Amino acid sequence: MFRVPEKSPAHYVKDLRVSTGNSDRLFLKYTPWFTRVERITLLGDGGWTPTCWRLPQSITSLTMKTDTSTLVQVTNIMAQLPNLDSLSLSGVLVPVDKTRLARIGSTLKGRFGGRLQLTEGYAGRDTLNMLLEIPTGLRFTEVYICGMRGCLLSTVRLAEACRTTLVKWTSSQCKSHP
pTM recorded for the entire structure: 0.87
Return the domain boundaries, the chain: 5-173
Give 8's pLDDT tier (boundaries 50, 70, 90). confident
* Closest by Cα among 80, 135, 146, 145 to 112: 135
In Å, what is the CA distance from 92 to each residue of 18, 47, 127, 137, 164?
Answer: 18, 12, 12, 26, 31
Three-point CA angle 34, 35, 39, nearest 5°: 70
Distance CA 11, CA 23 (A): 24
Does the domain at 5-173 match CATH 3.80.10? Answer given as yes
Phi, psi of 82 (to 5 degrees): -70, -15
Note the pLDDT of residue 133.
93
How many percent of the chain have pLDDT more than 70? Answer: 85
Mean pLDDT of the chain: 84
Under a CB-based contact definition with an 8 Å cutoff, are residues 56 and 32 in contact? yes
For the segment 129-170, what is each residue's pLDDT rounded down to a tens digit? 999 999 999 999 999 998 766 677 888 899 999 999 999 988
* Sequence letter at residue 117: Q
